[in-house]
Amino acid sequence: MARRTTVSTDDVGAVVTEETPAEIQNNDVVQVEPEMNLEALVSSGAVINLKRMTPEQRGEITHAIFTGMQSAVAEKDMAWVKLGLFWAFVQKNKLYKYCGDHITNANDFLREADLGIKRRELQNYAALATIFGRILRQRNVNVPIRKLAMVHPMIVRGGDPEEWIDKAIALNTPALEDEIREARGLPARDVCAHPADMQEVWMRCGNCGKWIEKVNH
């Protein structure tokens, strides 16, 4: 049976309860107080009674969760950019030559670091960080690594990095995809009329999900 627990915060932001259990159990129904630490509550895995909240309270919690998830993704994306800068630095300075007799090349360096990331992936992050790192630092902005990866081919084809950074910042992912399609001379998906003579029918395996072949019709 679920227990009802009133949650508030102490001076250092730690979650405390009237019952002071060691931790909030996953089946606890938690009554949210105005000054509570939402991040700590989320980490506890507790259940909150949204039906008993006012629309304003539900809106505040939803907004806080929404922005929290966005912040977490932004931190992850910037971590990939930083990782790319680290790897570019290692390569540029051949740091792996000075790490001991057991490390003789870049691959040995990566095995020793045990990052769980393939070298090709690191190379991609390094390329993105090299092209966009200066611009991002000068503007003091964060752009998701997936968006940098999306616009990177446009830079390779001679596009202006500043212009594509502007688009990556201003546009959401579907709109940025359409912008890239139009730059390549393809119609944007939201304006394409999908003419009948250009439509394709494909066979897909219902077991594994792999697309097998196009059906001629």
Per-residue pLDDT of the chain (217 residues; tens, 9 = 90+): 444 434 433 333 333 333 434 444 444 444 555 555 777 777 777 777 788 888 888 888 888 888 888 888 878 877 888 888 899 899 899 999 888 888 989 999 999 999 898 899 888 888 888 888 788 888 888 788 889 889 999 998 899 999 999 999 999 999 999 999 999 888 777 777 777 777 888 888 888 888 888 887 6
| Same-domain pairing of 141 and 97 | yes
Domain count, the chain: 2
How much is the pLDDT for 198?
79
Inter-helix orientation angle 161-170/145-156, to 10°: 150
The CA-atom distances, in angstroms, between 24 and each of 114, 115, 135 are 35, 34, 45
In a domain, 61, yes or no: no
In a domain, 139, yes or no: yes
How much is the pLDDT for 189?
74
pTM value?
A: 0.56
Domain encompassing residue 87: 67-215
In a domain, 96, yes or no: yes
In a domain, 100, yes or no: yes
| Same-domain pairing of 124 and 186 | yes
Contact 146, 78 (CB under 8 A): no
Average pLDDT in the chain: 78
- Looking at the chain, how many residues does it have? 217
| Same-domain pairing of 82 and 165 | yes
In a domain, 60, yes or no: no
| Same-domain pairing of 77 and 47 | no
| Same-domain pairing of 77 and 35 | no
How much is the pLDDT for 163?
93
How much is the pLDDT for 14?
34
How much is the pLDDT for 32?
52
Strands (DSSP E) found in the chain: 4-9, 15-17, 29-32, 47-48, 201-204, 211-215
| Same-domain pairing of 91 and 130 | yes
| pLDDT tens digits along 29-78 | 445 555 557 777 777 777 777 888 888 888 888 888 888 888 888 788 77
| Same-domain pairing of 44 and 124 | no
| Same-domain pairing of 99 and 43 | no
Contact 176, 162 (CB under 8 A): no
In a domain, 151, yes or no: yes
| Same-domain pairing of 75 and 165 | yes
| Same-domain pairing of 13 and 120 | no
